[in-house]
A and B are shown apart, each in its own frame.
Chain A
Amino acid sequence: MSIIGVREYSNIGSIKGPLMVVQGISDAQYNELVEIELPNGERRTGLVIDAGMGSAIVQVFEGTSGISPSGVKARFLGRGLEVKVSEDMLGRIFDPLGTPLDGGPEIIYGERRNINGEPLNPAARQYPEEFIQTGISAIDGLNSLLRGQKLPIFSGSGLPVNQLAAQIARQATVRGEETNFAVVFGAIGVRYDEALFFRKFFEETGAINRVAFFLTFANEPPVKKILTPKTALTLAEYLAYEKDFHVLAILIDMTNYCEALREISASKEEIPGRQGYPGYMYTDLAQTYERAGIVKGKKGSITQMPILTMPNDDMTHPIPDLTGYITEGQIVLDRGLYNRGIYPPINVLMSLSRLAKDGIGEGKTRDDHKDVSNQLFASYARAIDLRGLAAIVGEDSLSEVDRKYLLFGELFERKFITQGVTENRPIEKTLDIGWEVLSELPESELTNIKLTYIKKYHPLYREKK
């Protein structure tokens, strides 16, 4: 640690939005941490975002309201934005600056880390191959999540994504390594009642002591909101690569993050890109999403599930569009399913896990997993097509087999997709339910499944045994 004289300036040139110009300083470092003291003794924190000869522009995290050019002192601390991270953060709630929000004390034991992290050596990355059980059939069965993967959830306004995120945080585990599993939850710009919901859910379900919660509220300044995923992932990296935890990082809601980014970009008078979002939004998102994976030689891992709300349910909106380029698939929530009372309303036809095939099957989940997954997908796709046809020609005009597909579609949604908020299904139960709904179809239709698996797992043959 180097101790340098702390420089304190009181020449504030101008204040614009969240930005403050400090004059008379020529040795400010880019991204240097600044402490701002108001005449009434109040202290705020900021970061140098532009340093020139004779002035520095400081972005104030708590906003600049109440700050006037006279009487304010800006103390340049000679270090970047670092947060103390520790295993003791599990079970606690913090803001992105590391300040406790649960009434508890500051972290005592731990290491100071720069929240921007270090890029991972691409040659040191290991390909994800290990299954994570979320306990949700629509994910585990058809869009399996693997350790080290980045799999976002694309939601829409009003859909129950908070319940789904909380359920995943509570239930997710690497089978056989349950004790080394931790969840880092980054809540970006959430409402107070949402924050309360998450806290109560984790407390009541006993998951609280394996979850570290980083929180910014909707009414907080945008510069503070954009720090939330960075701090959350800094802790995730520490727990994964230093303490050998398998970490699931859930970031909710990345739409709020991008909106904050847009606000800050506009206040900096940067040239806007698509729909007013900054042109560097792709890079910025990639810097967040790429902080995941498995490193060779390290036992731990970071799996990311960023959650975003598609404005107007539009998947071509810049936020889901750019996210889709970076991440390894997506879980899409469907408003039509939600309106029919199905929870979780996961549209399995629009969802995809690009790495799923490498983490399922014999020795990993169950030998019939791949075949059952393919068959369920194919059969459900046909059922959806037939629904459209039935709407035109009427169900009575369909063949016997087609009517069975319609029934299959209904059962698939009601039995396989639908499950309780606290229902945790092991993969074996997910696959058995899959077999149960597939048994509605004639055996001759199960063309994606090997005969050996049919004879082994099909309910008809099981009953006979």
Chain B
Amino acid sequence: MEKVIEKVSSKIEQEIMKQLSDAKNEAVKLIDKQYSQYFSVGRSKIEEIITKSEERVGGEKARADIELKISINNEKEYWLNRLKEELKGEIYNKMNREKYNETLEKIIVNSVDSNSVIYVAEKDEKIVKEILKKNKINSKTEIDNAIIGGVIIYHPDKGLRRDYTLNLILEQVFDSYIDKIASKLFG
């Protein structure tokens, strides 16, 4: 009888232990699963914060890069404009006088008629009048001190002005060569 009781007790004990062990395993699994979920949510939140911060830093850096680029280019533009102004003052004096006068004459002979008005700088008025006299062209001249060199020919009957000034040539040439000038100045 005792042996039977012992056997049954032992069996029951084993059963209980097994169930407790199963319950424990299930509990561990549930905890693991919950932990993984919380870990995953927490991790993705942290990653989101990191990504947003990286983005914010990236944004600030990009903005700073652009502002720096604009500042540098502003500075370069200032010096290029300074150079252009200096050139305006110097270009007339550096011209080959003979070639300059020849070109003036060609322009006047080809473009001027008796109704034209020639706008010229004060320093060139004398040479233009000589050219007109030499070629027997009866045209008026007017002083325009904004002109560095060359002439503007105005045909009032056609409403047409033709610009042959050094101002325009300098503007166009400077604009075309600005890359090379900037490379020489700033590297």
Contacts and interface: CB of A to CB of B under 8 A. Distances in A.
A5 interface: yes
B76 A206 contact: no
Contacts of A9: 158-161
B62 A207 contact: yes
A395 B131 CA distance: 101
B18 interface: no
Contact of A105 (B56, B61, B76): B76
B141 to A, nearest CB: 18
Interface string A1-13: 1010111111100
Contacts of B164: 5
A3 B172 contact: yes
B95 interface: no
Contacts of B16: none
A11 B176 contact: no
Contact of A209 (B62, B76, B172): B62
Nearest to A3: B172
A104 B71 CA distance: 8
Interface string A192-218: 000000000001111111000000000
A108 B76 contact: yes
A110 interface: yes
Contact of A8 (B62, B65, B160, B172): B160
A10 B152 CA distance: 14
Nearest to A74: B159
Interface of B is mostly: helix
Interface in B38-55: 55
A9 B156 CA distance: 10
A72 B145 CA distance: 22
B162 interface: yes
B58 interface: yes
B69 A91 contact: yes
Q: Interface residues of B toward A: which range? A: 20 to 34
Contact of B169 (A3, A7, A92, A104): A3
A3 B162 contact: no
A422 interface: yes
A340 B42 CA distance: 29
Interface string B137-166: 000000000000000000000111111100
A104 B172 contact: no
A149 to B, nearest CB: 27
A24 interface: yes
A420 to B, nearest CB: 10
B45 to A, nearest CB: 14
11 contacts: A3-B168, A7-B160, A10-B159, A11-B159, A25-B160, A91-B65, A102-B70, A104-B70, A106-B77, A109-B179, A203-B62
Given A1-B173, A206-B59, 17 more contacts: A1-B176, A7-B161, A7-B163, A10-B159, A24-B158, A88-B69, A88-B73, A92-B70, A105-B76, A105-B77, A108-B182, A203-B59, A203-B63, A206-B55, A208-B59, A208-B62, A209-B62
Which 7 A-B residue pairings sit nearest by Cβ, starting from the closest? Answer: A206-B58, A11-B159, A8-B161, A104-B70, A105-B77, A91-B66, A206-B59
